Structure 1
Amino acid sequence: MPRRLLLAAEIIADVVQTSSEQERTRLLAAADNLRSLADEIGERSGLELNYSPQMERLRPAIRRLAAAFDPEIESGADRMI
């Protein structure tokens, strides 16, 4: 479950790119909360959650998935916050 929480946090971070300033603050807080929860669960479970390299590889796929749901999103952009 902690890995899925980290993935959810990355998806939220992707949404931040096209959100308003007001929404951005709340979305970033939600992503941070998910990461913290993943860390907490990972520690209790004894899981190593250093998934930065894997998340870097997944970011373009997250962008393509987002573009499938929202045509205004450029599928070639893989910049994340």
Structure 2
Amino acid sequence: MTLFEFGKVKTKIISLALITTFFAFSLNAAEYTGRLSMHWNDKHHCTKHAQMFVDEVFEKSNGRLKIEVFHSGQLFGIREIMGGIT
């Protein structure tokens, strides 16, 4: 086997490995869940618009990205939100 033929075989093996890896990861697409904390109650217009955003994200990601909305300071109060991000 010449050096040129060896290089072609090596390229084919690497290409096959990359394609196999790509399809393996795309078939096992992960699902993610995020949390959105708000200090407003569920009747506030900002909370309603945030829920519309969450629904749109869920739809556009085909259910792979889910965001849970916690209103009325259920996770963090207005003063603790910045600490919760970091």
Q: TM-score, normalised by structure 1?
A: 0.36
Which of 1 and 2 has greater Rg?
2
Higher strand residue share: 2
Higher helix share: 1
The two structures have a TM-score, normalised by structure 2, of: 0.34
